[in-house]
Amino acid sequence: MRKLMLVASLAVIAVTGACNAISRDTNAAAEVKSDGSVWGDYMESFLNGYFEINPTFAIDQGRHEFDGQLIDFSEKGLKAAIDYRKKAILDAQAIDEADLTDAQKFERQYLINTMEGELFWLEEADQPHKNPAYYIGALDPSVYIARPYADSETRLKAFIKYLKNIPTAASQIQTNLKLPLPATFVKRAQGAFGGFGESYVGDAITAFADVKDQALQNELKTAADAASTAMKDLAAHIGSQEGSATGFELGAEKFSNMVKKTEGVAISLAELEAIGQADLKRNQDALAKVCARYAPGQTAQQCMDKMNVNKASDGPVAEARRQLPPTKAFLQDKDLVSIPGTEEALVEESPPYNRANSAYIDIPGPFEKGLPSVYYISPPDPSWTQKAQDDFVPGKADLLGTSIHEIWPGHFLNFLHANRAESLFGRLFVGYAFAEGFAHYGEELMIEAGLPDSGAMEGLTPDEIRVGQISNALLRDCRYLSAIGLHAQGWSVERSKKFFIDECYQVEGTAIQQSERGTYDPAYLNYTLGKLMIKRLREDWTGGERDKWKAFHDAFLSYGGPHIPLVRKAMMKEDEAKAVF
C-alpha cells in the first residue's frame, strides 16, 4: 500500500458527519505502452518486468491482474530482484543520449536513482535478512479488505488467493531473518505479523460477510485459518530468542550511503547533523516566542501540554473529519497550489496490525479509477500506562498539523498531482524525502500563508495553532537527529526516547514510539531533510516573491517524486543535481 510512513525506506471522506457520499474522479489512467521511441520501448519492458518481480507493488498501483500474488522472498527470488534492478540500470545507461529527449533523459536518471536506492536496501543494508519491517508493507492485505476496487466477491477471491500464499511467504521470511533480532524489531514483527494473524480470522472475515456464496465463505475460513497460524508461528519464532538492545545500527558509513543513494544527498555526516541542529534550534526559538504569549511563565513542556489538553471529546478521527473542509477552503482561498480533480479522502482508525505510527494515508495508485484515499489515525497502545495512553491522543492543534500533513496540502494533494504526472514513472515511484518532505513543508506553508489568523479553524486560537505546528516540526527534527544518533553515533533507544522528551517536548508515548521506529526506519530523517531542500528551492526559484508560490508548487509537484536534488537541477537549470539547504 502507498503508506507514506515507510514509503521508500522499506520496500485510503465524506469529511463531514452529515454526508456519506464520496466525491470521486477518475484518476489519470496509465497504461504501460511504448510510444514507439527507444526509451518508450525500454520503459514498457522495464515496468512489465518490474511488476512481475514485485506483484504487491503492481497491485497497489491498481494492476489487479496480479491480485493474490506475493513477492518471492526465497533466496532465489531475492537474487532475481537484485539482478533485475542491476540490469535495468545498465540497460538504461546503455541507451544513446542522441535517442533521448530532455524529458526522457530526466526520466532515465529518475529511474536509475530509484533502482540504486532499492538496491541499497536489498544489498548494502541487507534488510531481507535483518529487518522484519522489510516484509510488512508487502504483506498488508488492506488492498483487498478496505479498497473497493471491485465487488466484494471479486475481492474475496483475490484475498483467498493471497491467504493461500501466506504460509509459503511466512516460511521464506522465517528462513531469511537472522535471529536474535534487536528488541525493537521483535516488537514490531510481533505486532505486525501477529496482527496479520488476528486480522485474517477477525476483521477480514467480517469485511466479506456480505458475500452469500457459502462455498467461498468455507474456502475463506480454511485459507484464513492456515494463514493466521503461519503468521502467528512466524511472530512466535521471531520472539523465541531474546531480543538484543543493539544490532539495529547501520553504522556511519552505511547511513551516509543511505542518504546519498536513496535521496541523492551527498554531504558529510557532520554537515548533515549541523543542518538538523540548526532547524531544531530554529523551532525551539519559535516555540519559546509563541509560548511567551500562549503560556506565559511556563516551561516549553508545560506550553505543549496546555496545547494538547484541548482534545476532541468524540476522538481524533471525528475531529480530523471536521478539519479537512476548512483547510482545503483555506488552500483554495489563498490560491497556494492547484487542486486537480474533485477527490476527497476518508478518515478512519488504523487497523490493529498497522499502528507503528500515529497516522498515515493509503492512496490508490494511478491505475485505479475513482477510489477514495484513506487517512488512518492510530489509537494508543493499550500496553502503555493510562497516562501515556491519554497523552498520546493528540490535541486539536497537534492533530490539525497531522491533517494538513496527510491531506491538505500534504500527501493527498501530492498524489493528486503525482497520479496525473506526464511521466508514468513519476506516477508510480514517489520517493520518501519528496513525499514526506512536501507534506511536512505543507504544515509550515499553511502558517506562512496566515492560517492561524484566518479564523478558519473553529475552537483554536492562533497561538494554539502555531504551538501545534511547531510541535510537529520539533517531532521531525528529533527524528532527523535521532536517526543519525541511533545509526551513526551509538545512541541507545533509551537515549533517543529521552531526546524526544527533553529537546522536542514530546509526551512519553510518542517518545517511545518514535525512538523505536528510528531503529527499523533509519530514513525517517527524510521529513526534515526533504522539507529543508524544498524550502530552499522555493526561495531560489521564486526569488522570494510570494506571488510565485502557486507556480512553484505546481511545477514541483508535476515531477511525481524524484530525488529533490534532481528536481532542483531541472527547475533551476543547473549543471548537476546537488542538495542545497
Q: Please check whether residue 224 is in contact with residue 204, taking contact to mean a CB–CB distance below 8 angstroms.
A: yes
Residue with cell 484513506: 374
Distances (CA, A) of 398 to 208, 232, 417, 424, 447: 36, 36, 26, 36, 13
Distances (CA, A) of 470 to 149, 343, 524: 38, 29, 18
Helix (H) / strand (E) containing 468: helix 462-488
The pLDDT value recorded for residue 383 is: 87
* Total count of residues recorded for the chain: 581
Q: If pLDDT is split at 50, 70 and 90, which confidence band does 17 have?
A: very low
Read off the pLDDT of each residue in 344-364 and give the average, rounded to a whole number: 86
Residue with cell 505546528: 469
SS3 for 357-418 is: CCEEEECCCCCCCCCCEEEEECCCCCCCCHHHHHHHCCCHHHHHHHHHHHCCCCHHHHHHHH
Q: If pLDDT is split at 50, 70 and 90, which confidence band does 31 have?
A: low
Read off the pLDDT of each residue in 338-358 and give the average, rounded to a whole number: 86
The answer to whether the Cα torsion of 505, 510, 516, 517 is positive or negative is negative
The pLDDT value recorded for residue 22 is: 28
Q: Please report how the helices 183-200 and 152-176 are oriented relative to each other, as an axis angle in degrees rounded to 10.
A: 150
The pLDDT value recorded for residue 223 is: 98
* pLDDT tens column, 235-254: 999 999 988 899 999 999 99
- Give the integer Cα–Cα distance in Å for 423 and 412: 19
- Give the integer Cα–Cα distance in Å for 10 and 484: 18
- Give the integer Cα–Cα distance in Å for 30 and 388: 46
Give me the percent of the chain exceeding a pLDDT of 70.
Answer: 94
Q: How far is CA 21 from the centre of its chain?
A: 27
Could you tell me which of 547, 565, 572 has the C-alpha nearest to residue 265?
565
* pLDDT tens column, 41-51: 999 999 999 99
The pLDDT value recorded for residue 509 is: 87
Whole-prediction pTM value?
Answer: 0.92
The pLDDT value recorded for residue 226 is: 98
Instruction: Determine the residue type at 45.
Output: S
Within 10 angstroms of residue 69's Cβ, the number of other Cβ atoms is 18
What φ, ψ does residue 167 adopt, rounded to 5°?
Answer: -55, -40
Helix (H) / strand (E) containing 290: helix 269-294
Q: Please check whether residue 365 is in contact with residue 428, taking contact to mean a CB–CB distance below 8 angstroms.
A: yes
Helix (H) / strand (E) containing 277: helix 269-294
The full DSSP string for 429-460 is ---HHHHHHHHHHHHHHHHHTTGGGTT-STT-
Instruction: Determine the residue type at 354.
Output: N
Sheet (strand 345-349) strand order: 345-349, 373-377, 359-362
Q: If pLDDT is split at 50, 70 and 90, which confidence band does 101 have?
A: very high
The full DSSP string for 142-181 is HHHHT--SS-HHHHHHHHHHHHHHHHHHHHHHHHHS-SSP
Q: Domain residue spans in the chain? A: 4-12+30-238, 255-357+368-572
Read off the pLDDT of each residue in 157-186 and give the average, rounded to a whole number: 98
- Give the integer Cα–Cα distance in Å for 495 and 476: 17
Q: If pLDDT is split at 50, 70 and 90, which confidence band does 8 have?
A: very low
pLDDT of 19 strictly over 80: no
- Give the integer Cα–Cα distance in Å for 247 and 360: 27
C-alpha cell of residue 240: 523465541
* pLDDT tens column, 391-442: 889 999 999 999 999 999 999 999 999 999 999 999 999 999 999 999 999 9
Q: If pLDDT is split at 50, 70 and 90, which confidence band does 507 have?
A: confident
Within 10 angstroms of residue 542's Cβ, the number of other Cβ atoms is 14
The pLDDT value recorded for residue 356 is: 66
Is residue 475 packed enough to be buried (19+ CB in 10 Å), middle (13-18) or exposed (0-12)?
Answer: buried
Q: For the chain, report the end-to-end CA distance as a whole number of angstroms.
A: 31
**Strand, coil or helix: what is 419?**
coil
The mean pLDDT value of the chain amounts to 92
Q: Which residues are within 8 A (CB) of 83 and not within 5 positions of it... i.e. 6 or more apart?
A: none
pLDDT of 178 strictly over 70: yes
Q: How far is CA 426 from the centre of its chain?
A: 16
pLDDT of 546 strictly over 70: yes
Could you tell me which of 273, 198, 237 has the C-alpha nearest to residue 529?
273
Read off the pLDDT of each residue in 37-60 and give the average, rounded to a whole number: 97
pLDDT of 179 strictly over 80: yes
Within 10 angstroms of residue 576's Cβ, the number of other Cβ atoms is 8
Q: Are strands 345-349 and 359-362 parallel, antiparallel or unpaired?
A: unpaired
Q: Please check whether residue 242 is in contact with residue 180, taking contact to mean a CB–CB distance below 8 angstroms.
A: yes
